[in-house]
Each structure stands twice: as C-alpha cells, then as structure tokens.
Structure 1
C-alpha cells in the first residue's frame, strides 16, 4: 500500500448504473441488458448518461473538493467476445475518463467488475462455468496493461454477496435462479476469479494495490444466548466471511464448508483452486456499509429471501430466513429505517471496522455509504438534510473506529450523482448531485454536495467544518 497517500474523500458510481450508451462504442450486450429488456423492466440504456458527460461530472467532483472517484469498468465494453478480443473504442473511453480524473486532481479508484457480466458468458453458464473465472483473469490483465500506468487502486469485484445471492438464490437479479447448490458453486467461482485476478496483478509487476469490495453487514444478535451466538456465526458466514476470510487470508471458513459439504457436491473445490485462493489474497478491503445484520435463531420454515425493490409502499415486506441457520430481524419497531426498509445504524460501522481490523490487519476503505430516497429534483436545489445527517453520523463512526486503531484510508459517498439503482430504477436517488432524468439529464448539486465540499475543506485545512449557526 502507498502509505504516503492522502485520505480519500470521494464518491462512487458503477458502469451499468451510470454510463448508458448501451449500444455505443462497440459495447457488447451485458446480462443486465438482456434481462431487463426481456422482462420489460426499467433499464440502464441511458442511465445518467455519464458516457457522454463524464468530463462535466468529474469537474463537478473536483469543484466539490473530492480527491478520488471510485468507478467501475464495463467488461462488455472492453472485451468483445468469448475469444477475448479487445474493443479499442472501449479502451479509448476509459483512457479518456482516467486522464480526465488526473487532469482535475481526482484519484481513479477502479473496480474491475460491478455486476455487468457480458451476455456471451452468461450464455455459457455465467458464474456456474469455471471458464468465466479464467475469462475474468484475461479481462483483468487487459485492464492492468491498458490503464495500470495511471491507476494505483484496483478492486477485483464489487459485492460478490449481492450479485451471487440475488442472482442464484433470491432470484431477483439475473440469471434469476433460486437454487442453493448453484448459489454455492457460483460463489466459489467468483472468489476463485478474484484470486486469479490478484495473482495476475502481482505476476505482472504492476504498481499500486489491489483489493476487493464487500457489502459489509456486521452481525448482531437479539440476545446473548448460546442459540443466538450460533445463529450469529451462521449469519456472519453468510453475510461476510466467505468473502472477507477468503480474500484476506486465502482460506474459506471451514465450518461453512463442512456444512455445505453435507448438502451439496463440492467436488469442484480442488486442491489447485484452494492453492490459488491462498496465493491471491488482497492488499486492502473495500467495505460498502449501509446497515448491520441483526439476527435471531432459526425457528421453522423454508429458506426465504424477500427484498424490497419498490420503496415505501412495500416497507416491512423484506424477509431473510436461511433454513437451519438464522433469521434476520427486519421488523423491529425500534429500528430507524429508510423508506426502502434498510436500518440506519451508524454504530454498526464503528464496531464493524474495529472487528475487521482485529481479524485481518489490512487497510480499509469505505467504498460506499449513502442513503436512497425518492426526491423531487424539479424545484431547484434539493434540501437533503437527511443525507447530510446520515453522512455526518457515519463519518463520526469512522473517526471513532480510527481512534480505536482501524486503518481507514478513504470514504466514498454512494453516489456521485443520481443513477439507475438496479431493480429500484431511477426513483431511488442516492446522489450528491441531482440528475433530471426527464429533462435532458441536467445536473444540479444538492445541499449535501455543498456540505460535503465544505466538510472536506475543513478536513484538509485542519479547521473542522462548522454549521453556519456555529461560526
């Protein structure tokens, strides 16, 4: 790691969620293009039109004091086909985006895979096919070769838990399967692919560091009974350990493997692949934090995972039960939640950072943190004091964790501007900058953008930001 790097105060996006231009620049079809078009769902064909407006967006970040931009590369925009042919138009686009970051003094923090698998690999079985893992290694090498002279911070994958569980177990994301055995297989292949990418980075002698980004949910129990502690361990394996243990230490959780081996055929986990995991451990951990995981012991019923993709009209409809393992508590009346039913719990971040530091002794970046709200952007500047309060509380939690010894090197707000939020469409807005999707995709900074700008200035000058009434 570069110990001389400044603390990164930035924001984040993802290729499918913001770029648009789904048929421009030689881009191949992604699994999300196919899935959303075939199911006649709101899609990211245009999204935030970042493909055409990236210069404006990066300049706005810089004017807001942000010194880093976390974004993802689109595999189908860079690699044309299963044969691995490089799309030079896609390379040119990202070269220009990266160069623009440097022009404005913004560090590119690059995620190689943020869910948009090329459809040509989904046609071959997607993450159930080991060849997809080897194709990822090739794709990663192309990225390192073409951009590595200007990119110092890489992440192999964004949130393996979410795209694997949603795609192969819950069934609300492509490929829309509900099969626990296939979910376990896909999960292993993704972590194997990540290790291959890390090994390729090291073998190539590229400068900088490489990590993985995880959707971090620190686990709490409803009480201190033995049954709850057992449920917490199951929940931690489900929510965190199969990614963090594997990426940071090179070892899969043995109790998780033992339990899965009783149920499923795990013969694809071979000694050579286990060795690759040991040789492909990461330099840092990126943690996306939105909430903790509060659990109670499993009682009865089949595995059930229901998520809220619709907002307030369906608040309270979420349910997570893993048969024999645990039940997630989502209906506690004492919880403060977003309108999508996500608990707002900053102290989980503080305690989680301390625990991750204790377990893995690696540098950490908060690679996503934000709140999604249905907002009216047609009346000028959005007065999003709720977002400011959310950011303040979570930044305070990070500072408290740092005081307790956590090595945190950056904070990235999700998101840089309003974007397409997967199955939630464009109604769920996270941005510091409003995007008017109905009127030319015009950008208008929100109150939170100005607050973040002033807060960053205070951090950089050593003069902590004060509210207007406190000055």
Structure 2
C-alpha cells in the first residue's frame, strides 16, 4: 500500500463559470464569456454557452451530499466576480447569501473549501475599459479580493488568487482561443504583468486584513523537457521555462522576477510598463502555498526561424513532438505521469519546499456513453488508470520529501469547458444535459476507496 500523509486532502476542482449556471440571473453581470457567446456563438461547441452549465446554483445542496457519498474531504471552486460585484463596487446581497450558504454547507459535510478568485472570467464592464491591459484592473481586482476576504473569511481558510493566469495571457493575447482573441506579444506581456500585480495586491490585502488561514495561487506547471542536450535545445527549454513557469512561480514564491526573463524581454523590446514600488510589493507579498495543475508535459526544441525582436513565443522555442509518447486522443495531449514526480522535486529543490498540492489532474474523454454497462454506470477504467499512474509518481515525490498536502481531480461532475462545451468529460459523475441528472461513474467508486485507504494498493 502506497500511503499518503495523514490529513491529506482528497477532492476535486471546478470553477464558478463552469459549474454555477444562472449566468445572466440573480444580479450577475456579464463576463467576457457571456458576451462573447452573445456576439459569436458559432465559436462554441454545439452552441453550448455559459448560461446554464452544471446548474450548481440550484443543485449545490444535493451535489455536496454527492461529494460526501464518495468521501471527498475537500473541494476547490471559485467566486464569480461578476456575481458578487456586478459593477465592480456594489455588493450583490443575493450572491453573498448564495456563497455563504454554499461554503457553510461544504464545511458542515466535512468538505474543506479552497476558494479561488479568478478563473478566466473577466467582467465585461472591466473588459470595456481594457481589461488586464490597463493598470486599473490591478486595483479593481485588489478591491474584489479584499471584499471576498471580508465577506467569507470566517468560512474559508484557504484562498487562491488566480487559476492558471498564463492561460488567459496566452489564449487571449497570443493564440486567439479566448476573448479578445488577438495576437500581440507586447500586449500579452503587459497583461501578464498586470495579472501578477493584481495577484500581489490581493495577497497584500489578505495579509493586511490579518485573516486566518493561507493564501496561494494555482499555476499550470510542467518541467520543460528539451529534445536534446544541444546548446540550442537547452536554451529553448530555458526560455520556455522562464516565460511559462518562472514568470509567475518565482514572484509568487521567491518574491523576485527572474533576471533572465527581464533580459529576454528587454532584448526583444517587450518590457511592460511598471510602477515604482512594484518590485518591493512583489518581494513583500509571497504566497503560503501553491496549487499545481498538471495534465501534460512541455517538450520543446530550438526554433528553425527566429524573428528579432520576437513577435511570438515561437521565436524562442518550438514544440517538440516526442515520438515515443503515449497520448489521450480526445484532447491530443501527451500522458506522462513521470512529470508529476519532477514537479514535486522542482518544488522541493528550487522553491523552498513550499507547501503545495495537485490542484487539477484528470483525463477528458468524449462520448463516454460507449463505456456504459447494463446498469447505466460508465466504466471509465481509463480515468482510474490515469489517476493511479499520476498518484504513483506523486507518492514517489512525497516519499522523497516534497511537501505536498493534497490531490484534486478535475472534476467532480462533468462541467462546461469554455469553447469545447461538454465535448470531453472529466467528472466522477456523469451529467445528463437534458435534465441535469447526475450519475456516478466507476471512477467515483474507486475514488471513495482511495480516500478511505488514504493510499493506493
């Protein structure tokens, strides 16, 4: 038996925009997702927009009982900025009542809430003013964070500021996947910098408020594996790490922006606009813990053609398609559990062995009804195998001294996934889109046994 530490957190993760529904109701104002779906519904999977999603707004009482049934002891979701502060300043009392009851019921059922503040859902009122491109977004987010801590701090011990901040930078400003879907490296850097400062001032508000508990950030991190040990490939891996991992991880944990990243941006005329006291604020407001989302490794090689100054990250590194890879064909993602051990060692050796947990890990599969047995239960053995393989590597890292305190699967109930809608399913519970009915999958039974044993056979 591979035993995990005592009081290990076993749970699942989701977000407000992907689970709550009621996206235009109950005093909530539009996010970029609501507005983009209104403007360009053809971009979304089978016209599946953000309005209804999993309808947790109505069904959280029953869903928390389902969490308890599979013995989850923790759960991460987010607060919708647009629901709590529809105009950025005015508190929506119905939202306060909803979240307080939600969080209280989690606690009463033995499910520890870990609450995140931002999961890609930029308020439309702020987007109209420039969104993360403007410095005003930093103060707006700090005010929102302070409001959350004051309203819910008695119910929530563990907070995170952002989920995968690199995603809204890349997808919105480099690769065209999220609104505003533009390709501008200079703007992307500025957006990333303002996001970092928003995180920093949120941490500052938490510390100045003398709130109990801990505050962290959730990052999508993978060690970067070069194609070869050639000088060129190693340099590509170093630059990929600086841009994609160290850009947020170093300031959050170490309180510094890597000198190599600053030099790279300066050489390519990409340095962001900053303010005088920013570096001191970053230094003084580091996190208590880190959430690490891991799905696939990062493999790179030296680019064949380079623009100078750079116009995209492809001028620093190219993706390397490892010929020996195992792949999830539904997402097109490589399956490489060994990277989770490497993440554990990276945190131990390079980041003060800070407290951390696996905040997302899971396998998305389409058309899961193919695997339904006669009783109506989906036999998702592929998901069980995926998690067992990753947990084996995580256990190895913990045994080697890495300070990991939990593991959260993505996700509890099949949830809405941005432009992909419900194409790929990840949940322990199947969601019927026709009637919101939830049905337990085989992986949910396996997870219950995992929690009860606090370990793997």
TM-score normalised to structure 1 length: 0.91
What corresponds to 1:374 in structure 2? 366
- Aligned with 2:178 (options 149, 153, 173): 173
SS at 2:225 equivalent? strand
Between the aligned partners of 1:216 and 1:79, the Cα distance in structure 2 is: 30
Specify whether residues 299 and 114 from structure 1 end up closer, same or farther in structure 2 by C-alpha distance, changes over 3 A only. Answer: same
User: C-alpha displacement at 1:465, in angstroms?
Assistant: 5.4
How do residues 118-137 of structure 1 correspond to structure 2 at under 5 angstroms? 118-137=123-142
What corresponds to 1:348 in structure 2? 339
The answer (yes or no) to whether the contact 2:306–2:315 under 8 Å persists in 1 is no
**Deviations 1:289-335 (CA, angstroms, capped at 9, x unpaired):** 001101111112669xxxxxxxxxxxxxxxxx834311111x33321
What corresponds to 1:37 in structure 2? 38
Does 2:54 match 1:48?
Answer: yes
The answer (yes or no) to whether the contact 2:190–2:272 under 8 Å persists in 1 is no
SS at 1:170 equivalent? coil
How do residues 30-429 of structure 1 correspond to structure 2 at under 5 angstroms? 30-40=31-41, 41=44, 42-82=48-88, 84-264=89-269, 266=271, 268-300=273-305, 322-329=313-320, 331-339=321-329, 340-361=331-352, 362-377=354-369, 379=372, 380-429=376-425
Q: Unaligned 5+ residue runs, structure 1?
A: 304-320, 467-471
Between the aligned partners of 2:299 and 2:415, the Cα distance in structure 1 is: 29
What corresponds to 1:318 in structure 2? none
Between the aligned partners of 2:49 and 2:239, the Cα distance in structure 1 is: 35
Higher relative contact order (CA 8 A, sep 6+): 2
Between the aligned partners of 2:272 and 2:365, the Cα distance in structure 1 is: 44
User: C-alpha displacement at 1:345, in angstroms?
Assistant: 0.3
The answer (yes or no) to whether the contact 2:189–2:272 under 8 Å persists in 1 is no
Between the aligned partners of 1:291 and 1:154, the Cα distance in structure 2 is: 25
The answer (yes or no) to whether the contact 2:306–2:316 under 8 Å persists in 1 is no
Between the aligned partners of 2:313 and 2:154, the Cα distance in structure 1 is: 45
Between the aligned partners of 1:428 and 1:78, the Cα distance in structure 2 is: 29
User: Which deviates further from its counterpart, 267-276 or 212-221?
Assistant: 267-276
**Deviations 1:333-365 (CA, angstroms, capped at 9, x unpaired):** 321111211110000110121112211121011
Between the aligned partners of 2:64 and 2:386, the Cα distance in structure 1 is: 24
User: C-alpha displacement at 1:264, in angstroms?
Assistant: 2.9
The answer (yes or no) to whether the contact 2:186–2:272 under 8 Å persists in 1 is no
SS at 1:286 equivalent? strand
What corresponds to 1:431 in structure 2? 427
User: C-alpha displacement at 1:217, in angstroms?
Assistant: 1.6
User: Which deviates further from its counterpart, 173-182 or 375-384?
Assistant: 375-384
The answer (yes or no) to whether the contact 1:128–1:189 under 8 Å persists in 2 is yes
The answer (yes or no) to whether the contact 1:454–1:465 under 8 Å persists in 2 is no
User: C-alpha displacement at 1:108, in angstroms?
Assistant: 0.4
Between the aligned partners of 1:213 and 1:230, the Cα distance in structure 2 is: 26
Does 2:24 match 1:23?
Answer: yes
Between the aligned partners of 2:16 and 2:247, the Cα distance in structure 1 is: 25
User: C-alpha displacement at 1:197, in angstroms?
Assistant: 0.3
The answer (yes or no) to whether the contact 1:213–1:286 under 8 Å persists in 2 is yes
Between the aligned partners of 2:348 and 2:383, the Cα distance in structure 1 is: 27
User: C-alpha displacement at 1:453, in angstroms?
Assistant: 0.4
TM-score normalised to structure 2 length: 0.93
What corresponds to 2:445 in structure 1? 450
Between the aligned partners of 1:465 and 1:214, the Cα distance in structure 2 is: 26
Does 2:436 match 1:441?
Answer: yes
**Deviations 1:409-468 (CA, angstroms, capped at 9, x unpaired):** 01000001101111111111111110011x201000100000000111111xxxx555xx
User: C-alpha displacement at 1:238, in angstroms?
Assistant: 1.9
User: C-alpha displacement at 1:110, in angstroms?
Assistant: 0.5
Between the aligned partners of 2:119 and 2:193, the Cα distance in structure 1 is: 17
**Deviations 1:147-166 (CA, angstroms, capped at 9, x unpaired):** 10110100000001111110
- Alignment: residue pair count: 440
User: C-alpha displacement at 1:245, in angstroms?
Assistant: 0.5
What corresponds to 1:316 in structure 2? none
User: C-alpha displacement at 1:5, in angstroms?
Assistant: 8.2
The answer (yes or no) to whether the contact 1:95–1:147 under 8 Å persists in 2 is yes
What corresponds to 1:310 in structure 2? none
